[in-house]
Amino acid sequence: MSKKRGNNTEFLQNLTISQVLKLYKQRGLPEREALILIGYAMNKPKEFVIAHDDLICPEGAINLLEKRLNGYPLQYIIGEVEFYGRRFFVEEGVLIPRWETEGLVDIAIEYIKNYDLKYALDIGVGSGVILVTLALETGIKVFGTDVSEKAINVTLKNAKRYNVECEVKLGEFAEPFIERFDSIQLIISNPPYVREGAKLQKELDFEPKQALFGGEDGLNFYRIFFNRYNIDGKIVVMEIGEDQGEVLRQLTGGIIRKDLAGKDRYLIVDRYNK
């Protein structure tokens, strides 16, 4: 093992994959994650790693395992994440999609199908998982905005990966598409809704702050959006924090739905027939 790495991982020199797996498991890293990281370093699937766990574990893998143990998200290391059964690119600076957001997509699909909607706008695309999934699942024409240039680039990469035609522009809220706002029937968003100063798990330290925090009470995005735009003739579906349902219901006159864990998670404001 090279001397560059210093002392903390030198004890792992010349250990087999199976020995390394055991040691990292003892330190709290789930075996599945360790297998993925070793496979990633070896450019092989985890099944190969399992079948060859008597090989000496490569140095590159140890570096990745250490990074993960320090809280760096697995998805940023491997550059991919799974969402709605598909793999998407993701990188540091862009939010790692969460399972709750699949529920938001389910609701949007329900409305797109029921009302036979043709145009949707995703505000705050991030990695583009919502926009790309909606296009693939329903064929709806999708537009997207984000205040982060990196997010726009990753979204375009993911759209290309799945051959999805979309228009994605840098800017806040619906502003980049204001000229065609009237024709947009569905607005979807998973906005930043965490309260400023909230105590978060270690992994979130590595994620972009503007994707997470929504001001003192976490509601800035919703307040500005519903103040600024006339949503008559549209359906708005947004992800919300688990304790924000009641206040957002009052603010918007919408309804709240729960996620699979039974927590308030989705706001639906249906003004399609208004």
Ligand X SMILES: C[S@@+](CC[C@H](N)C(=O)[O-])C[C@H]1O[C@@H](n2cnc3c(N)ncnc32)[C@H](O)[C@@H]1O
Q: Tokens for 230?
A: 């006339």
The least CB distance from residue 83 to ligand X, in Å, is 8
CA distance 128 to 156: 8
Contacting residues toward ligand X, per CB under 6 A: 95, 97, 101, 123-127, 129-130, 145-148, 151, 172-173, 190-192, 210-211, 221
Dihedral pair phi/psi, residue 29, rounded to 5°: -90, 120
Nearer of residues 151 and 231 to ligand X, judged by Cβ? 151
Supply angle C-alpha 223, 122, 119, rounded to 5: 115
**How many other CB atoms are found less than 10 A from the CB of residue 22?**
14
Nearer of residues 32 and 228 to ligand X, judged by Cβ? 228
The least CB distance from residue 17 to ligand X, in Å, is 33
CA distance 128 to 102: 13
CA distance 24 to 36: 13
Nearer of residues 44 and 209 to ligand X, judged by Cβ? 209
Nearer of residues 142 and 211 to ligand X, judged by Cβ? 211
Q: Tokens for 124?
A: 């705050």
The least CB distance from residue 208 to ligand X, in Å, is 6
The least CB distance from residue 172 to ligand X, in Å, is 4
CA distance 222 to 229: 11
Nearer of residues 148 and 252 to ligand X, judged by Cβ? 148
The least CB distance from residue 14 to ligand X, in Å, is 41
